[in-house]
Amino acid sequence: MIINTGGRTDTVQYYTEWLLNRFSEGYALSRNPLFPNKVVRYELTPDKVDCVVFCSKNYKPILSRLHEITERFNTYYHYTITAYGKDIEPGVPSIEESMETLIKLSELVGKQRVAWRYTPILLTKDYTVKCHLETFERIAKVLSPYIDRCIFGFVERYKKLKINMPELISLSEQDMNTLGQGFGSIAERYGIFIQTCATNRNFTSYGIHSSGCITLNILGKANDIDFKNLKHRGTRQECHCIESRDIGAYDTCMNGCKYCYANKKPQKAFDNYQYHDKTSPLLLGVEKPSDIIIQAVQKSLKKEEN
């Protein structure tokens, strides 16, 4: 099984102690967002977890203790660094600070385990196509020696995005093609393997590889693992990733990103933080007498040894 720590929230940045406690104790509980009384138990032990995938916009809080996980588990790291400032991503460090932290992460775990995510790409009067291309090159120039690949994707127009980001400008076909061509050219210039995320759009003519940012091929190469040849069903529309299980919770990320799909409203995450207990097996709250605990079926995706 692949365990994901950052699909629902920035666990690394805001819940570091909890995350380390869960791997130390060897299990975590995850409440079903649709059926709150149903709770899934995941064993967080090397024999049950093939790889731990992290996704964060700030790894600084965990760097000094990351070895507690890396010494026992196969790992892979997605680090999101975009063009946006505090007006769009209020809780995210500056580009300069983020790049410094990514370099430190890469030096700790190896560049083959670090992917730079430039996503989601959205347009406003301030964040134009020109702005994205200039910022992308600025970051690429610094990070190229420290990353396995770059992954980019376009914003999804969720219904709540119309409320949270009325200033959003729709991306046209021309905008996406211009960005794809520009990103491909910049990536080639700096020797960066570049691919898309969650799209069936074809940019191969620009030297950009197809979607699938959490695949068994990527994780296997990064950790020298032989995985089975399995179909990648994805986690959402146009996603081509291998299925993974997230131990986080929605409405808990305090980055406050205006485009966020995991929070109903930015303030809700701050309100929910009062229910966080770093010693609890659940990210939010504690077990209740009415909870139905379901043991997850955790099958290995590795090839069987002869």
Write the CB contacts of 94 (distance below 8 Å, at least 6 apart in sequence): 85
CB 121 within 8 A of CB 155: yes
Question: What does each C-alpha distance from 16 to 3, 9, 54, 196, 248 come to in angstroms?
Answer: 16, 12, 12, 29, 12
Instruction: Record the pTM.
Output: 0.94
List the chain pLDDT tens, one digit each, 306 residues.
999 999 999 999 999 999 999 999 999 999 998 999 999 999 999 999 999 999 999 999 999 999 999 999 999 999 999 999 999 999 999 999 999 999 999 999 999 999 999 999 999 999 999 999 999 999 999 999 999 999 999 998 777 787 788 899 999 999 999 999 999 999 999 999 999 987 778 899 999 998 778 889 999 999 999 998 887 766 666 666 778 999 999 999 999 999 988 888 889 999 999 999 999 999 999 999 999 999 999 999 998 875
d(CA 30, CA 287): 10
Candidates 67, 71, 138, 153; CA nearest to 98 is: 138
For residue 236, the model assigns a pLDDT of: 66
